[in-house]
Structures are given as C-alpha cells and as structure tokens.
Amino acid sequence: MKNQLLMAFSAMTLFLAACNDSKPVEETAQQVAADSTAATMPPAEFADPALGAIVKTGLDHFSKGDVAAWMASFADNAVYAWNNGDSLAGKEAISEFWTKRRTEVIDSITFTNAIFLPIKVNTPQSVEAPGNWVLTWYKIHAKYKTGKYMDQWSHTDSHFNAEGKIDRVIQYIDFVPIQAAQAKK
C-alpha cells in the first residue's frame, strides 16, 4: 500500500511539474518541428528548373552576339572567374570584356550538348556560397577572326543572389586551344 501511495504521489508530482512548464505546448511543438527539419535538411538539393532556363537563354543570346541581353540576368556586383585565377568584377567590366571578345576576337560561337543542373546549396561543403547554383556542361564550337576554329568542353557554375540575378560565374576551360585559335599563324 505504501508503494502504491508513493507511486501515486510521484505520478502526481510529475504531472504537476509538466503542467507548470513555462513554454506553451504549441511553442514546444514548433521548436521540435524546426529542430527536426534542420537536422534532416540535406547539404544540397535540386533547385527551381527555371534557373537553368535563365542560363540557357543567356547562352542563346551570347551565341547570337547579343551580350547586352545575356548580361540582363547578371547582378551589378557580379564576378566572372576562370579556373586559371583570372576574374572580372562588376557587371560593367564583364560586359565590356565579352562585348570586345564577341566583336573583335570571336567570329561565331555555339554551345551544344548542354546539361543544366540547378541545385540549392544548404550547407556549403568547402568554399562555395550557399544558395542557388546552376552547374552547366556544354561543348563550345567557336570560329575566331583569325579563321581558326576551337572546339572544347566547358563546365560553368552560376550562382544566383536573393534577387534571382547571377552574381558569380566560375568557368572551367582549357586556354591552350583558345590561344592556338587566336594565333595569327
């Protein structure tokens, strides 16, 4: 009997202690749900396919020589970087560089076999920025003003800012075939 009384008293004490919790039940449930979501969020996931369409449309404009239309999807503070460490900072600098290349150096350029993979980086694994990226692979076919041709594969990563504009491009490309195609003879 004493054991049953002790158990009943203990149960009543635990019940009262639980009822005196300062947090409302809804708040506790919301916190548990938030903690659960954060714990199960993958480091990366697929992003909106519309982002891939933005990059594809930009390449179409670039192929036609319409650098201004291509640049419409860029943020004012965009950075365009290459795997060799060179980079351009600012939409104006990027536009000037590529306008000059398309009018004075490259006669025509097309991109084929393109793959566009939009991803959202939730937890960066190294130096990449969190947020939406489009990873793109394509083959470049270019004819230079020298009359020479260049064909090669390229991988390009485009990061989108919170306003949906491209604020970082990283292009991985081999510069040796480009230099050879630009050589006068």
Task: Give the per-residue pLDDT at 126.
Answer: 85
This model's pTM is above 0.85:
no
Distance CA 98, CA 18 (A): 67
Distance CA 177, CA 185 (A): 14
Q: Cα-flanking dihedrals φ and ψ of residue 11, to 5°?
A: -65, -40
Architecture in CATH of 44-182: Roll (3.10)
Name the band, by pLDDT with cuts 50, 70 and 90, for residue 37. Answer: low
Please choose, from the candidates 167, 17, 177, the residue with its C-alpha nearest in 3D space to the C-alpha of residue 79: 167
Region 78-83 average pLDDT: 97
Tens of pLDDT, residues 85-143? 999 999 999 999 999 999 999 999 999 999 999 999 999 988 889 999 999 999 999 99
Please choose, from the candidates 46, 9, 17, 58, the residue with its C-alpha nearest in 3D space to the C-alpha of residue 165: 58
Region 2-27 average pLDDT: 49
Q: For residue 48, what are its two tokens?
A: 């909106």
Distance CA 106, CA 37 (A): 49
**Secondary structure element (H or E) that encloses residue 45, with its range:** strand 44-46
Task: Give the per-residue pLDDT at 48.
Answer: 97
Distance CA 68, CA 62 (A): 9
